[in-house]
Amino acid sequence: MSHSLGIIGYDYVEFYVGSAKMWAYWHAKALGMKVKGYLGPESGVKDTASYYLEKNDFRLIITSALKPSAFNITSFVTNHGDGVKRWSLKVKDVNTAFENSLENGAIPERSPQKIEDENGWVEEAAIKLYDDSEIVFINRENYNGLFKPGFGNPVQHISISCEETGLQAVDHIVGNVRTNEMNLWANYLNESLNFETFIDFGPGDISTKYSALLSKVVRSKEGAAVKNPINEPYEGIKKSQIEEYIDVYNGSGIQHIAISTPDIIKSIAAMRANGVEFLTVPDAYYDNLKERGLEVTEDIDELKKFGILCDTEGTGYLLQLFTKPISDRASFFYEIIQRRKGAEGFGQGNFQALFESIEKDQELRGTLDR
């Protein structure tokens, strides 16, 4: 029996990247995020630079090393390229969450630490996730300053005009792991965080002519919905996108973050205008959608115009679209998602069209054949 952790919901996600300033510009332009905070030499930090960005409830820190002495960042980027180092859970009490997670079987990374300044205090602790990632427990309730102590106003004038994307918050965070690792990590999250398995896609559930994968979705039993799918490759004629990820990322790690929106047509139209590249599905997908006679409020021709995918489940449905990998390695990408009428799934009906689209890109990269 797992101990409860007092989880409230997702808080921030932190990337380690080669050039945080460039990544901050991309997120400001592409996703319409505001660069709100900065931590670097100007604020007394010698060997790192971090940007804090916000869009409604979607919060990011983007961090780079300035010197080889920041070896935890340089080694991460050398190994994995630009990627998610940690995602965080807002908890009622960090000590309780950390101690209980350890009793449940979590592997500790950092003990609870309180940082404070004249605006109050923030407490954080961390446990291990996958090869080189972390889950942070954070409490910022008693802090009235900018995000957390250390961050000041940006010294850069990053003022970028872009279309309003309306992006809202993290919906789910997905990990890719090696063959036979999915159950290990699903059990780890279920036990450590008092999660439960919500969906289990077995052999044959997610496959194309060429490749396949297995996926398990674990989710929190308390607080706002925290959902974490975990994928592993499954045998197929050719190399699956999960194997490609494990190769280029050089291990297991975070594959994508899904961000929710209350109006996906507006969000995708804006992001396309802001220069974001998305996966493309063939026109036949929309003919199919019309034939299925789905009861959706949106005009299917408009979904087709913006390349948005639609899948029904029970009485609800979800609309979603995936960007291409946002950096140079074919690893991390974003998903944009709108859930309608209580849909809780992940778009299983779209998997085939999507994976065929990814396979076309894999073919161009020369990573489809073994």
Please report, as ranges, the residues that interact with Fe ion according to CB under 5 A: 258, 335
Count H helices and E strands in the chain, helices first. 9, 16
- Rounded to the nearest 5°, which phi and psi values hold at 114? -100, 125
Q: Which is nearer to Fe ion, 123 or 311 (CB)?
A: 311
Secondary structure (3-state) at 203: coil
Q: How many angstroms separate the CA atoms of 53 and 70, rounded?
A: 22
Q: Least CB distance from residue 335 to Fe ion, whole Å?
A: 4
Q: Which is nearer to Fe ion, 91 or 258 (CB)?
A: 258
Q: How many angstroms separate the CA atoms of 311 and 294, rounded?
A: 9
Secondary structure (3-state) at 89: strand
Secondary structure (3-state) at 306: helix
Q: Least CB distance from residue 129 to Fe ion, whole Å?
A: 17
Q: Which is nearer to Fe ion, 50 or 215 (CB)?
A: 215
Distances (CA, A) of 320 to 105, 279, 280, 283, 312: 35, 11, 12, 16, 11
Q: Which is nearer to Fe ion, 125 or 254 (CB)?
A: 254
Q: Least CB distance from residue 146 to Fe ion, whole Å?
A: 30
Q: Are 112 and 91 in contact (CB under 8 A)?
A: no
Q: Least CB distance from residue 210 to Fe ion, whole Å?
A: 21
Q: How many angstroms separate the CA atoms of 193 and 236, rounded?
A: 33
Q: Which is nearer to Fe ion, 70 or 258 (CB)?
A: 258
The first and second tokens of residue 313, run together, are 């489940």
Q: Which is nearer to Fe ion, 39 or 354 (CB)?
A: 354
Q: Least CB distance from residue 343 to Fe ion, whole Å?
A: 13
Distances (CA, A) of 91 to 15, 62, 129, 135, 312: 21, 22, 18, 12, 33
Q: Least CB distance from residue 16 to Fe ion, whole Å?
A: 22
